[in-house]
Amino acid sequence: MAKKSRLDFMKMKEKGEPVAWITAYDFPTASFAEQAGMDMILVGDSLGMVLLGYKGTVPVTMEECIICCNAVRRGAPNTFCIGDMPFMSYQISDEDAVYNAGRFLKEADMDAVKLEGGRRVITRIKAIADAGMLVMGHIGLTPQSSGVLGGFKAQGRDPKSAKDLILDARAIEEAGAFALLLEAVPPELTEFIAKDLSIPVYSIGAGAPCDGQLLICGDMLGLFQAFTPKFVKKYANVAEVEINAFKAFVEDVKTGKFPEDQHCYHILPETAEEYQKMLDELKRK
């Protein structure tokens, strides 16, 4: 399977072929995603909650992101992968933004980066794009700034906030972003922005009328149990499978059903006598 490029995603938008992508943070998940034919993978800063157990995404560091990105790239060498820039990796200055974006490409072999925010981060997006790197915008519900938004709440549900998001989207495109992610906004607004922009516009909880859909792997697989967003469709309940397997293992160990003879490595037959002699010699008196 050949890795898709920015041009492929533009062609898919033109043809009306939606992009399917998920987040992944480790080798096996990335490998399974590639085998399933996923168009893209986002190594999201959601790794803080789904993988590391943080209460939110703010504590996530560049080093944690780079480690996860490397694992994902090893698992999905032929899939377009995006590194999610964590909190404070781009907020301070354009120079910081370019440097940290470059780390995702240079150290983790990512194909692009994503960062949150609209017009307030336009100079960051432009600086990264001008440095020759692909950058995706992200507006609507932006988890890194959820405190400012008043929590994890849907955005753009009234005319004023919707207009702000439209202006943000246009500014992001003009700054040189190759694509835009909308999170938790009404489908009517998503459809307007997707038609208004020439670059691909993707949804995570923003409805169907756009150029593709993203879900967090922990949500769609039923791995993350703290809460399930309204927009998530669960395609599996892996947590239940794992818990039941662990329970069965505990029961087998406690009752002596595991391990059985088939699970053991035995003495080489030709050394059995010598082996037993050695054990007898070393037996404590």
| Catalytic (active-site) positions | 183
Nearest to 46 by CA among 30, 79, 78, 22: 22
Q: Using CB atoms within 10 A of its CB, is residue 82 exposed (0-12), middle (13-18) or buried (19+)?
A: buried
Cα–Cα dist 253/247, whole Å: 10
Distance of CA 42 to the CA centre of its chain: 4
| Coil vs helix vs strand at 243 | helix
Q: How far is CA 285 from CA 78, 274, 280, in A?
A: 62, 20, 10
> How many residues belong to the chain?
285
